[in-house]
């Protein structure tokens, strides 16, 4: 036997980690596309809003019909609530009584203002691009949309007196998916404990910020829970030992792991799938039957807003006087005397309620 002839080395026998099919790096394009789509929708929303034609005062009036509503009306620097409603904001009354279920999806592409848009898009880029590089556009695209829907669903069960917009539910879904992906693929990562603590801290801080008023924390929680469960289903990776055996040459065939996934991965996959199906089914049935989840959970409202001496979490008791003046309606808050004149030919009770909440809060 020729002693110079040797078996292929481990490095030669096994395809490099980054080149393996199950660990390939994808070129991210869908997450950037989602970000661009959100920006375009916001610009179009401002075009539809046309503040100079519908309001007495506007911010940045030099922008013409793209100028923003007054700061006291929308501190996020954006359109009016009426414009957001017409563009597809989540309005439980319209979803339940007018069968406009599409609002559960369209609301995640709308934003209340420039600050709202920038915060969400920055987070989506940072988290989403990393996930798309590792798992591809199909899985991360589904994770993004389904998490957004899950956030809208939970929000509509608990917050039924105001509208909701924003992609933050999808962003929290990406964070939830990143967390469950780390847990289910625990054995393949180095420095995993530090990564876990960092990720949990980021998620906790962001969820804690949702206790302030005018923040839909139920959308955040619903998006996070949906993304967390979806991560166990979509983002599971095979054991690296199984990968080595699959890609090794015949000449290099040591005793390697035979099973593709570990037992705990399979169990978490099954449990997550069951919880997802059950949760979405119960949520949709409850919503379509007009269930108010607050009636079944007396303390849950504290998850979205904690009242203190500086602010109130209950805008339901506001009362306003309204007067139709031609094609405009003048709404005056009874408690503080503030009034706003809006262009509105056919005002409805829900529209007046939203305007009243704006000027009285």
| Residues designated catalytic | 168, 220
Alpha carbon distance 156, 219 (integer Å) = 8
Strand 339-343 relative to strand 328-333, pairing:
antiparallel
Q: Which two tokens stand for residue 82?
A: 């009426």
Q: How far is CA 280 from CA 113, 131, 153, 194, in A?
A: 30, 24, 8, 33
Name every residue whose Cβ is closer than 8 Å to that of residue 1 and which is 6 or more positions away in sequence: none
Q: For the chain, first and last CA: distance in Å?
A: 89
Cα R_g (the chain), whole angstroms: 25
Residue 301, Cβ neighbours under 10 Å: how many?
A: 18
C-alpha span between 162 and 102 (Å, rounded): 17
CA 232/CA 177 separation, integer angstroms: 8
Give CA–CA dist 16/30, Å, rounded: 26
* Counts of helices then strands in the chain (DSSP H, E): 13, 3
Burial category of 102 from C-beta neighbours within 10 Å (exposed 0-12, middle 13-18, buried 19 and up): exposed
Element (H, E) at 148: helix 114-158
Residue 87's Cα: distance from chain center in Å? 18
């Amino acid at each position: 036997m020729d002693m110079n002839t040797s078996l292929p080395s481990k490095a030669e026998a096994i395809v490099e980690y980054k080149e393996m099919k199950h660990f390939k790096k994808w070129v991210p394009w869908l997450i950037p596309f989602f970000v661009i789509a959100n920006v375009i929708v916001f610009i179009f929303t401002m075009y539809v809003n046309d503040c100079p034609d519908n309001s007495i005062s506007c911010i940045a009036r030099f922008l013409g019909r793209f100028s923003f509503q007054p700061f006291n009306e929308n501190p996020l620097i954006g359109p009016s609530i009426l414009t957001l409603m017409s563009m597809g904001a989540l309005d439980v009354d319209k979803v339940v009584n007018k069968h406009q279920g599409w609002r559960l999806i369209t609301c995640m592409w709308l934003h209340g203002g420039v600050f709202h848009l920038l915060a969400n898009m920055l987070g989506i880029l940072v988290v989403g691009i990393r996930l798309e590089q590792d798992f591809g556009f199909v899985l991360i695209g589904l994770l993004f949309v389904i998490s957004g829907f899950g956030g809208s669903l939970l929000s509509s069960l608990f917050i039924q007196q105001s509208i909701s917009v924003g992609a933050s539910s999808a962003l929290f879904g990406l964070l939830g998916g990143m967390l469950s992906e780390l847990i289910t693929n625990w054995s393949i990562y180095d420095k995993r404990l530090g990564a876990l603590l960092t990720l949990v801290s980021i998620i906790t801080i962001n969820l804690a910020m949702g206790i302030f008023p005018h923040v839909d924390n139920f959308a955040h929680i619903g998006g996070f829970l949906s993304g967390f469960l979806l991560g166990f289903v979509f983002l599971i990776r095979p054991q690296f030992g199984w990968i080595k055996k699959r890609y090794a040459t015949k000449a290099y065939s040591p005793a390697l792991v035979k099973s593709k996934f570990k037992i705990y991965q399979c169990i978490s996959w099954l449990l997550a799938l069951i919880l997802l199906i059950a949760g979405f089914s119960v949520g949709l049935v409850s919503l379509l039957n007009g269930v108010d989840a607050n009636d079944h959970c007396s303390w849950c409202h504290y998850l979205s807003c904690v009242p203190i001496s500086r602010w109130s979490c209950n805008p339901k008791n506001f009362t306003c006087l309204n007067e139709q003046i031609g094609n405009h309606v003048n709404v005056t808050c009874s408690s503080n005397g503030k009034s706003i004149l809006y262009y509105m030919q056919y005002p409805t009770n829900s529209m007046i309620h939203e305007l009243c909440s704006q000027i009285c809060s």
